Structure 1
Amino acid sequence: MVHINERDFDTMSVLIEGLSDAVSLRCLAQVPFYLHPNLKLVSHTWRTALQSQELFKAREELGSQEEFLCVCAYEPENLWQLYDPLHDIWMTIPVLPSKIRHLAHFGCVSTGGKLFVLGGGSEDVDPLTGDQDVSFATKEVWSYDPITRNWSQCKPMSVPRAMFACCVLNGKIIVAGGFTSCRKSIAHAEIYDPEKNTWVSIPDLPFTPNSACSGVVIGGKMHVVHKGFSMVQVMGKPCDGWMVKDYGWLHGPMAVVEGVLYVMSHGLVYRQETEKQKLVISAYEVRKRIGSAMIGLGEDIYVVGGVIGPDRSNRDITPTSDIDVLTVGSERPAWRQAAPMSRCRGTILGCTKLRI
């Protein structure tokens, strides 16, 4: 049973006439998240309830939590949107208050009902010196709380990072590899505890090519993949360190759907087993988009945004807000379109899932 904080709910008896505090809160917990802004207009009491941790604990207890996509694109600057797949709608959240213009090459994950944006920097070049390293990588960490609709700064990482691997294991955030400047890659890895707001170093990556890397979680283990290299570094428990495996995985955008890895390579989508691949479908519909994001949500793969590159009929580069969806578990997988992003467009700088 969810416990009510009496200091927050001193007028809960009139939240819903004729119902107890606990029952009223459980009723509100069943309301879809996209309707919350409207419900907050009903009364001060309702606003307090809808911004309470107790409400979201009730959503978890009742199994009424919802999964959203969190997306940040190049346009407009530092703006994030949430996509609700059940209602096929987009919601805009407050602009990330970083002082860095067009923050890019960051890590983004979610845990504990919050969105986290870590590291990254700007691709802008200093007009006086031509130096790109001034803000290429940072230590900063931001969290967004959808309950209060506020961004907060968290304890920074121990070193600046850009183009690094970032994943969540057992509710904690692990970052590894990447670059501290546009010329220097690192092997350092560390783990963040959101509840304690602390960072602790863990074993370094044993294999550190001068290449951008990304991370995926499969089977409860973090897998670090370096662009252009076949070696995959795997870690289950931080205390056990890393294992280096040569799986011969295909290279390209990756998405994990229900624990299975899918890769888009050379215009085709493959189901990637440990050391073999199985063709799923052609990605002809989306192959012309550059800088899009590919992510798994539920039983689906989403290909989000990007730019349409020049071809024989059009020499311009066109930013897009399009979303293409593939249900990989169906007998005959086929691409379909979802509602396009309502505000964002162009190259996708960050894309992750958020459970609220």
Structure 2
Amino acid sequence: MGSFLSLAGAKSTWRECQEVTQNETCKRRRISSSFDEESGRLIPSLPDELSLQIIARLPRIYYSNVRLVSRRWKATIMSAELYNLRKELGTTEEWLYLLTKLEENKLLWHALDPMSRKWHRLPPMPKAIYEEGSTNGSSRLWMRNMVGPGLKIAEVIRGWLGQKDASDEMPFCGCAIGTVDGCLYVLGGFSKSSTMRCVWRFDPIQNTWNEVTSMSTGRAYCKTSILNNKLYVVGGVSQGQAGLIPLQSAEVFDPSMGTWSNIPSMPFSRAQVLPTAFLADMLKPIATGLTSYMGKLCVPQSLYSWPFFVDVGGEIYDPETNSWMEMPNGMGEGWPARQAGTKLSVVVDGELYAFDPSSSLDSGKIKVYDQGEDCWKVVIGKVPIYDYADSESPYLLAGFHGKLHFITKDANHDVAIMRADLRDNFGISPPASSSLLPSSLREFSESLGESDAVVWKVIATRDFGSAELVSCQVLEI
């Protein structure tokens, strides 16, 4: 009996010692972990400089998980030093950022990593609403005359003319999208039937939205582009004493200084030669596109008053002389127009491409601008599209990884990202630093009825339900 009690006592003492030992071990581990996290190295036995080199070579898709290792790792993933090193090493990646709109007038952002083909949803844009005046009946009527039924803004107009103001429900309606210095920008738009000056920036490194310096003028449906690492904004409509008015003004944002500066307004010189004062008063000059090309800003322009639409060429801004000049005739007059006259274009490896919708419901063409001959030439004879006439932007263009990409909805109503590739049976693969088609192949493809030199390959799809395409941008980080 005594032996049994002695044995039981020994076991009890052993359990207590084991619990104390485990508690002490856990405590030491916590202290050690805290010490390593605050003052240790990123990777044990490696200098932090070498660890940073390793992290900079990791695909960006892993960063969301890597940042969970510790506070030091999180700080490293969110540091400017890491992304500067990625630029030096040439390990930056181009991601596609897609803006969609749901039926309940809600804007949502999604990012696609083309390499892993994985989608990520961005944090929602802020719900802040800025009122900068109120519109009256005359401005609503002018807006109806200006944009016509071709744009989705017709829904907003119908709301204005009825009992319900549609723009009250949808801040940033008619906003412009741009990118500069590795960040995404959302500029202006409507809020409570008023045009906004506010500008919001999404930092993909911090994964947050922040408000930056506002534009000097409230704008909606303006055009944006990047040149010399500065963000340019031209045209659009704004709030005036008599209501909404078209804008000829332009301004530029310097991300390094965080400031806006005005540049000379667009002259719209061809709009000044209308034959009668009546037409000059009725037809309003608008910028229908903006593209950075050959170190300058190219702005195709139109005169518009529903249901009348007249192309008037365009103008080019030269930042070196800080002045505007008329666009070459062939460039301006041949620039393909989308619904309501908007020009859908993109520059890929120095070549200017534009989408030309076909009269057919299931196809379109891609044209390239030939600067030497001052004309647009068909480079891709058929682009597979589906008829979404009621959509605000039924198709979009983007350029990344040195190739042209077309974004639309497929037969299943899924958003599809399609890449233009040369057909394998030609025995030619496009070099990394060339345009979509070399000059010789471009001439050959023009001789074909449907441009058999190019095949469209779907690189990613996503079911966004009833969401509509609005805009897209490419960020390299």
The answer, yes or no, to whether TM exceeds 0.5 is yes
Show the 5 A alignment for 1:35-50.
35-50=62-77
Residue matched to 1:106: 175
Please name the residue that 1:95 is paired with.
124
Give per-residue Cα distances to partners, 1:95-150, cap 9 Å, x unaligned: 1114352633222221211111111226xxxxxxxxxxx43531110111111111
CA RMSD of aligned residues (A): 2.6
- In structure 1, stretches of 5+ residues that fail to align are 1-8, 123-133, 309-317
Determine the C-alpha separation between the residues in 2 that align with 1:13 and 1:61.
Answer: 26
Instruction: Select the structure with the greater relative contact order (CA < 8 A; seq sep ≥ 6).
Output: 1
Asked if the contact 2:413/2:463 (under 8 Å) is kept, the reply is no
Matched residues in 1 for 2:380 and 2:466: separation? 26
Answering whether residue 220 of structure 2 is matched by residue 116 of structure 1, we say no
Matched, 1:337 2:428: no
- Correspondence 1:255-334 to 2 at 5 A: 255-265=346-356, 266=358, 267-274=364-371, 275-286=374-385, 288-290=387-389, 291=393, 292-305=395-408, 320-327=414-421, 328-329=436-437, 332-334=453-455
CA contact (8 A) 2:175 2:221 kept: yes
The structure with more strand, counted as a fraction of residues: 1
**CA-CA distance at 1:62 after TM superposition:** 1.2
The aligned counterpart of 1:179 is: 237
Q: 1:236 aligns with which of 318, 333, 336?
A: 318
Choose the corresponding residue for 2:212, options 154, 174, 181: 154
**CA distance in structure 1 between the partners assigned to 2:396 and 2:194 by the alignment:** 21
Higher alpha-carbon deviation: 95-104 or 183-192: 95-104
Q: State how far apart, in whole Å, the 1-side matches of 2:85 and 2:466 are.
A: 35
Label 1:103 to 1:210 Cα distance change in 2 as closer, same or farther (>3 A).
same
State how far apart, in whole Å, the 2-side matches of 1:344 and 1:57 are: 38
Deviations 1:174-197 (A, max 9, x none): 111111158410111111111221
Q: 1:188 to 1:212 in 2, by over 3 A?
A: closer
Alpha-carbon contact 1:120-1:162 (below 8 Å) kept: yes
Amino acid at match of 1:347: E
Aligned residue for 1:225?
A: 300
Q: Secondary structure at the match of 1:38?
A: helix
Q: Distance in 1 between matches of 2:57 and 2:465?
A: 29
TM-score (norm 2): 0.64
Match of 1:127? Answer: none
- Given that 1:29 and 1:64 are in contact with CA atoms closer than 8 Å, whether structure 2 keeps it comes out as yes
**In 2 relative to 1, CA 52–268 (structure 1 residues): closer, same or farther, beyond 3 Å?**
same
Alpha-carbon distance between aligned partners in 2 of 1:70 and 1:159, rounded to the nearest angstrom: 26
Tell me, in whole angstroms, the C-alpha distance in 2 between the residues paired with 1:349 and 1:121.
Answer: 15
Report the structure, 1 or 2, having the larger helix content. 2
* Greater gyration radius: 2
User: For the structure 1 residues 298 and 12, does the alpha-carbon distance in structure 2 shift closer, same or farther, using more than 3 Å as the test?
Assistant: farther
Equivalent in the alignment of 2:334 = 249
Shift of 1:240: 2.2
Decide whether aligned partners of structure 1 residues 224 and 212 sit closer, same or farther in structure 2, where only a CA change above 3 A counts: closer
Matched, 1:25 2:37: no
Q: Residues of 1 paired with 2:213 and 2:472: CA distance?
A: 22
- Hey, what's the Cα distance between the residues in 1 that align with 2:257 and 2:463? 36
Please give the secondary structure, in 2, of the residue aligned with 1:148. coil
Q: Which runs of 5+ in 2 are unaligned?
A: 1-35, 130-169, 272-283, 303-309, 338-343, 359-363, 422-435, 442-452
The residue that corresponds to 2:41 in the other structure is: 14
What amino acid is the match of 1:258?
Answer: D
Range that drifts further, 274-283 or 136-145: 274-283
Q: TM-score if structure 1 supplies the norm length?
A: 0.84
CA contact (8 A) 1:75 1:345 kept: yes
Distance 1:273 1:347 in 2: 33
Contact 2:300 2:314 in 1 (8 A): yes
User: Is 1:73 matched up with 2:181?
Assistant: no
Identity %: 27
Instruction: For 1:111 and 1:136, locate their aligned partners in 2 and report how far apart those are by CA, in whole Å.
Output: 26
Q: Which residue of 2 aligns with 1:130?
A: none
| Structure 2 residue matching 1:57: 3-state secondary structure | helix
Larger deviation: 266-275 or 50-59? 266-275
Q: How many residues align?
A: 328
Query: What SS does the aligned partner of 1:14 have?
Result: coil
